[in-house]
Amino acid sequence: MTAQQSSNGPLVHLTEEDLLSQLHQELLPRHVAIIMDGNGRWASLRGLPRIAGHREGLTALRVTLDTCYEVGIPIVTIYAFSQENWMRPKVEVRLLMNLLQEFLQLERQTFQDRRIRFLPIGRLDALPRSVQTLVYTVMEETQQFSDRVLAVALSYGARTEILDAVNQLLHDVQTGKLHDFPITEEVFQQYLATQNLPDPDLLIRTSGETRISNFLLWQIAYTELYFTTTLWPDFRRREVLLALLDYQKRERRFGRLSQHATSHPL
Instruction: Judge if the upstream peptide bond of residue 182 is cis by omega within 30 degrees of 0.
Output: yes
- Phi-psi category of residue 265: left, alpha or beta, with phi > 0 → left and psi -120 to 50 → alpha: beta
Please give the residue whose beta carbon sits closest to Mg ion in the complex: 37
Q: Note whether 201 binds ligand IPE by CB under 6 A.
A: no
Q: Number of helices (H) and strands (E) in the chain: give both, helices first.
A: 9, 6
Residues 220-249 that bind Mg ion (CB under 5 A): none
Q: Note whether 161 binds Mg ion by CB under 5 A.
A: no
Q: Which of 81, 111, 118, 247 binds ligand IPE (CB under 6 A)?
A: 81
Residue 78 binding target from Mg ion, ligand IPE, none, CB below 5 to 8 Å by type: none
Q: Is 37 a catalytic residue?
A: yes
- Beta-bridged to residue 116, according to DSSP, are 148
Q: End-to-end CA distance of the chain, in Å?
A: 35
Q: Is 196 a catalytic residue?
A: no
Residues 90-109 that bind ligand IPE (CB under 6 A): 96
Q: How many whole angstroms separate alpha carbon 127 and alpha carbon 133? A: 9
Nearest residue to 133 via CA among 79, 97, 164 = 97
Q: Note whether 40 binds ligand IPE by CB under 6 A.
A: yes
Binding site for ligand IPE (CB under 6 A): 35-41, 79-82, 85, 96, 207, 209, 211, 213, 232
Chain residues binding Mg ion by CB under 5 A are 37
